[in-house]
Amino acid sequence: MKIISAAILVIASASLSEAFAPTASRAISSAPAAIMTPRLSTPLFMAFESTDEIELDCEERMEKSVSNVKQNLTTIRTGRATTSILDLVQVDYYGAPTPLNQVANVSVPNSQQLAVSPYDKSTLVDIEKAIIESGLGLTPNNDGDMIRINIPAVTEERRKELLKQCKAMGEDGKVAIRNIRRDGVDAAKKMEKAGDISEDESKGTQDNVQKLTDQYVKSIDEVVAKKEKEVMTV
C-alpha cells in the first residue's frame, strides 16, 4: 500500500508541477504560436448540428476572404493619391499597434500627394516610422507639423508588375474560398456518415456550398478586374 501511495503521490506531483511550476517554460515553448496567423474555425475543428450551420459558416468565411482580397488590393499604388493606400499601416501608439487612420487624419491635397495630420503631434515620428516600415515604398516628409507623401507616377513596366500582383492576390483569395468549400463538403459527408442527415440532404448541402463558391470566386474576379482597370488608367 505504501508503494502504491508513493507512486500516486509522484504522479500527482508531476501533474501539479506541469500545471503550475513551469509556466514560463511553457510560455516560451508556445511563443511561436502567438505570431502565427489565427485560423478561422472550420468543420475540422467544430461540430455542426445542421446543414444550415455548414452553409452559414462557409458563407461567412468566404465573405471574409473577399474582404481580405479587397483590403490587400488597396495597398497597390496606381499612381494616384488615395487615402486607402495607408489603410493597412499600423502605428505603434503607446505600445499598441493602431491603424493610422485612428491616430491621424489622412487627406488628398492633390492627385499626387497625401497629407497626414496626427491628432497628437507627439506621434509624428512614430507615424513616419510606420509608413517607412510598411513596405509600401513610400517616402514620408515630416515638417514637424504634419507628414506629406508624394505619390510617384507609375511607369508602364511597373504597371505590368502591379497587374501581376493583383492577379496573385486574387488567386490567393480564390484558393482560400476553395479550401472553405472543401471544409463544407467534408462536414456534410461527416454528418451523412454519422447518420445525422440523409444522402440527399448531404448532396443538397454540397451543391449549395458549390454555388456559394462560384458566387464568391466571381466576386473576387470582379474586384480584381476593377483594380486592374485602375492600375492601367494613366
146 with 163, same domain: the answer is no
212 with 174, same domain: the answer is yes
According to DSSP, the β-strands at 90-93 and 113-118 are unpaired
pLDDT in tens, 155-191: 888 889 999 999 999 999 999 999 999 999 999 999 9
203 with 227, same domain: the answer is yes
122, 150, 178: which is the final residue of a domain? 150
- Asked if the model's pLDDT at residue 1 lies above 50, the reply is no
Does 34 fall in a domain? no
- In this predicted structure, what is the pLDDT of residue 24? 34
128 with 166, same domain: the answer is no
Flag whether the pTM goes above 0.85: no
Alpha carbon distances (Å) from 87 to 16, 56, 160: 47, 29, 23
- In this predicted structure, what is the pLDDT of residue 6? 39
167 with 67, same domain: the answer is yes
Confidence of residue 221 (pLDDT cuts 50, 70, 90): very high
- Asked if the model's pLDDT at residue 192 lies above 60, the reply is yes
C-alpha cell at 43: 468543420
C-alpha cell at 154: 507609375
How many domains would you assign to the chain?
2
Does 24 fall in a domain? no
- In this predicted structure, what is the pLDDT of residue 119? 95
C-alpha cell at 138: 513610400
Of 16-20, 89-93, 130-134, 213-217, the range with the lowest mean pLDDT is 16-20
- Of 67, 121, 114, 64, the C-alpha closest to 89 is 114
- In this predicted structure, what is the pLDDT of residue 57? 97
Instruction: Provide the domain limits for residue 221.
Output: 51-73+155-232
Does 5 fall in a domain? no
Give the chain's end-to-end CA distance (angstroms, integer).
Answer: 88
- In this predicted structure, what is the pLDDT of residue 206? 97
93 with 205, same domain: the answer is no
pLDDT in tens, 72-110: 998 887 778 888 889 889 999 999 999 999 999 999 999
Does 15 fall in a domain? no
Does 22 fall in a domain? no
Alpha carbon distances (Å) from 165 to 84, 211, 217: 17, 27, 17
129, 150, 171: which is the final residue of a domain? 150
Average pLDDT of the chain, as a whole number:
82
Helix (H) or strand (E) holding 79: none
59 with 94, same domain: the answer is no
Of 77-86, 95-104, 136-145, 208-217, the range with the lowest mean pLDDT is 77-86
The dihedral formed by the CA atoms of 183, 188, 189 and 194, expressed in degrees to the nearest 10: 120
100 with 212, same domain: the answer is no
**What's the rounded mean pLDDT across residues 207-216?**
98
Does 23 fall in a domain? no
- In this predicted structure, what is the pLDDT of residue 234? 63
87 with 137, same domain: the answer is yes
Contact 224, 73 (CB under 8 A): yes
C-alpha cell at 128: 513616419
- In percent, the amount of the chain with pLDDT more than 90 equals 63
Contact 196, 47 (CB under 8 A): no
- In this predicted structure, what is the pLDDT of residue 75? 81
178 with 128, same domain: the answer is no
Contact 51, 205 (CB under 8 A): yes
| Calpha distance 128→138 (Å, rounded) | 10
Contact 151, 113 (CB under 8 A): yes
Confidence of residue 70 (pLDDT cuts 50, 70, 90): very high
132, 150, 168: which is the final residue of a domain? 150
87 with 142, same domain: the answer is yes
| Calpha distance 201→207 (Å, rounded) | 10
CATH number for the domain that contains residue 189: 1.10.132.20
Does 29 fall in a domain? no
CATH number for the domain that contains residue 89: 3.30.1360.40
- In this predicted structure, what is the pLDDT of residue 136? 82
| Calpha distance 156→133 (Å, rounded) | 26
Contact 80, 151 (CB under 8 A): yes
178 with 215, same domain: the answer is yes
DSSP 83: G
pLDDT in tens, 16-43: 343 333 333 333 233 333 223 333 434 4
